[in-house]
Chains A and B, each alone.
Chain A
Amino acid sequence: MSDTLLALDGLTKAYPGVIANDDVSFSIGVGEVHALLGENGAGKSTLVKMIYGLVKPDAGKMTLHGDAYAPGRPSEARSLGVAMVFQHFSLFEALDVAENIALGMENPPKRRELAARIREVSNAYGLPLDPGRLVGELSAGERQRVEIIRCLLQNPRLLIMDEPTSVLTPQEVDILFGTLRKLSAEGTAILYISHKLDEIRALCDAATVLRRGKVVGTCVPRETTARDMAELMVGSTLHTPERRSTASEDVLLELRKVSLPAATPFGTSLHDISLSVHAGEVMGIGGVAGNGQDEFLSVLSGESLLAPGHIWVAGDDIGAQPPQTRRGIGVLAAPEERLGHAAAPDMSLVENALLTGSVRQKLAPNGFVNWSATRVFAEKVIADYDVRTPNADVAARALSGGNLQKFVIGREILQAPRVLVVNQPTWGVDAAAAASIRQALLDLAEQGAAVIVISQDLDELMEIADRFAALNGGRLTDPRPTQGLTIDEIGLMMGGAHDMEVAHAAQ
Chain B
Amino acid sequence: MIRLEKRPMPSRLWTVLTPIVAVLGTMVAGGLMFALLGKDPFEAIRTIFYDPLFNDQFAAYSRPQLLVKAGPLILIAIGLSLGFRAGVWNIGAEGQYIIGALCGAGVGLALYPSESFLVLPLMVAVGALGGWAWAMIPAVLKTRFNTNEILVSLLLVYVAEQLLASASLGLLRNPDGGGFPGSRNFQQWEAAANPELISGTGMHWGVVAAFIAVIGAYTMLSKHMLGFQIRLTGSAPRAARFAGVNPVRLVLICLGLSGALAGMAGLFEVTGPAGQISIDFGSGYGFTAIIVAFLGRLHPIGILLAGLLMALTYIGGELSQFMLGVPAAAIQAFQGMLLFFLLAVDVLSNYRVRIGKPGVA
Name A's B-contacting residues (CB within 8 A). Answer: 13, 15-16, 53-56, 58, 72-73, 301-303, 322-324, 327, 333, 335, 337, 340-347, 351, 354-356, 358, 364, 367-369, 371, 394-395, 397-398
Contacts and interface: CB of A to CB of B under 8 A. Distances in A.
A395 B361 contact: no
Contacts of A397: 8-9
A303 B361 contact: no
B10 A395 contact: yes
Contacts of A324: 243-244
A-B CB proximity, top 7 nearest: A398-B8, A323-B244, A344-B236, A324-B244, A395-B9, A344-B239, A355-B243
A367 B5 CA distance: 38
A243 B359 CA distance: 46
A356 B243 contact: yes
Given A364-B225, A369-B223, A346 B236 contact: yes
Contacts of A13: 359
Interface stretch (B62-70, B165-173, B227-235, B285-293): B227-235
B228 A346 contact: no
A354 B10 CA distance: 20
19 contacts: A15-B359, A54-B361, A72-B361, A73-B361, A323-B241, A333-B242, A340-B238, A343-B239, A344-B240, A345-B236, A347-B231, A347-B232, A347-B236, A351-B228, A367-B225, A367-B226, A368-B225, A397-B8, A398-B9
Contacts of A335: 242
A12 to B, nearest CB: 12
A354 B242 contact: no
Interface string B7-37: 0111000000000000000000000000000
A323 B240 CA distance: 11
Contacts, number: 89
A301 B242 CA distance: 7
A341 B225 contact: no
A5 to B, nearest CB: 22
A58 B5 CA distance: 17
B361 A344 contact: no
Given A54-B361, A323-B242, 5 more contacts: A55-B359, A323-B241, A341-B236, A355-B243, A394-B8
Given A322-B244, A341-B242, A395 B232 contact: no
Contacts of B243: 323-324, 355-356
A18 to B, nearest CB: 12
Nearest to A302: B244
A303 B236 contact: no
Contacts of B359: 13, 15, 55-56, 58
B244 A369 contact: no
Nearest to A370: B223
A340 B236 contact: yes
B360 to A, nearest CB: 7
Contact of B228 (A55, A342, A369): A369
A22 B358 CA distance: 18
